[in-house]
Amino acid sequence: MTSHVMPTAERKVRVDLAERSYDILIGPGLIAAAGKEIASRLKGRKMAVITDENVAPRYLEPLMASLGESGIEAVSLILPAGEKTKSFEHLIPVCEAILGARIERNDAVIALGGGVIGDLTGFAAGIVRRGSRFIQIPTSLLAQVDSSVGGKTGINSAHGKNLIGVFHQPDLVLADTAALDTLSPREFRAGYAEVAKYGLIDKPEFFEWLEKNWQAVFAGGPARIEAIAVSCQAKADVVAADERENGRRALLNLGHTFGHALEAATDYDSKRLVHGEGVAIGMVLAHEFSARMNLASPDDARRVEAHLKTVGLPTRLADIPGALPPADRLMEAIAQDKKVKGGKLTFILTRGIGQSFVADDVPSSEVLSFLTEKHPR
In this complex, which beta carbon is closest to a second copy, that of residue 9 or of residue 164?
164
Residue 275 a catalytic site member:
yes
Residue 84 a catalytic site member:
no
Q: What is the largest CA-CA distance in the chain?
A: 61
CB of 95 to a second copy, least distance (A): 6
Chain centroid offset of residue 279 CA: 10
Applying CB under 8 A, the residues found at the interface with a second copy are 88, 91-92, 95-96, 99-100, 102, 104-106, 123, 126-131, 152, 154, 157-160, 163-167, 336, 338, 340-343
Chain centroid offset of residue 180 CA: 15
Residue 356 sits at φ, ψ, to 5 deg, of: -75, 155
In this complex, which beta carbon is closest to a second copy, that of residue 346 or of residue 372?
346
Question: Is-contact 6 38, C-beta < 8 A?
Answer: no
Helix (H, G, I), strand (E, B) or coil at 372: helix
270 vs 118: CA distance, rounded Å: 17
CB of 347 to a second copy, least distance (A): 16
Residue 152 a catalytic site member:
yes
> What type of residue sits at position 239?
V
In this complex, which beta carbon is closest to a second copy, that of residue 345 or of residue 348?
345
Chain centroid offset of residue 284 CA: 18
> What type of residue sits at position 210?
L
Q: Is 139 annotated as ligand-binding?
A: yes
CB of 339 to a second copy, least distance (A): 10
89 vs 238: CA distance, rounded Å: 32
90, 133, 203, 275: the catalytic one is: 275
Q: Is 116 annotated as ligand-binding?
A: yes
144 vs 134: CA distance, rounded Å: 15
Q: Is 374 annotated as ligand-binding?
A: no
Residue 160 DSSP code? E
187, 243, 245, 288: the catalytic one is: 245
19, 130, 294, 377: the catalytic one is: 130
Residue 28 sits at φ, ψ, to 5 deg, of: -75, 145
In this complex, which beta carbon is closest to a second copy, that of residue 106 or of residue 310?
106
108 vs 155: CA distance, rounded Å: 20
CB of 69 to a second copy, least distance (A): 22
253, 263, 277, 339: the catalytic one is: 253
In this complex, which beta carbon is closest to a second copy, that of residue 295 or of residue 340?
340
Residue 58 a catalytic site member:
no
Supply the residues annotated as catalytic.
Answer: 130, 152, 194, 235, 245, 249, 253, 256, 260, 275
Q: Which residues are annotated as a binding site for Zn(2+)?
A: 194, 256, 275
